[in-house]
């Protein structure tokens, strides 16, 4: 049971682990699911990029996005 707004728990309670990892790059940070791909990035200027619907390749010098469902005529 959460005992305060700060997320403190009573002794003996188990806290669930989050399956997310954060990776730092020269341009900002990226969040990835530990058993999946990158989900979003936060740039140094404060902008947020959502990677939903894209295959992503991250590099020290930038981000490459590729549509997952690349159907002809789109």
- Report in angstroms the alpha-carbon separations of 55 from 38, 43, 50, 52: 8, 18, 11, 8
DSSP 8-state secondary structure symbol assigned to residue 16? P
**Regarding predicted confidence, which is higher, 10 or 41?**
41
Q: Give percent above pLDDT 90 in the chain.
A: 53
pLDDT 10s digits, 29-64:
999 998 889 999 999 999 999 999 899 999 999 999
Question: The whole model's pTM is what?
Answer: 0.65
Q: Which residues pair with residue 9 across a beta bridge?
A: 2
């Amino acid at each position: 049971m959460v005992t305060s707004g700060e997320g403190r728990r009573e002794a003996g309670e188990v806290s669930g682990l989050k399956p997310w990892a954060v990776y730092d790059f020269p341009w900002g940070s990226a969040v990835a699911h530990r058993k999946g791909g990158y989900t979003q990035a936060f740039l140094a200027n404060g902008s947020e990029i959502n990677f939903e619907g894209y295959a992503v390749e991250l590099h020290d010098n930038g981000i490459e996005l590729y549509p997952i469902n690349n159907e002809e005529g789109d």
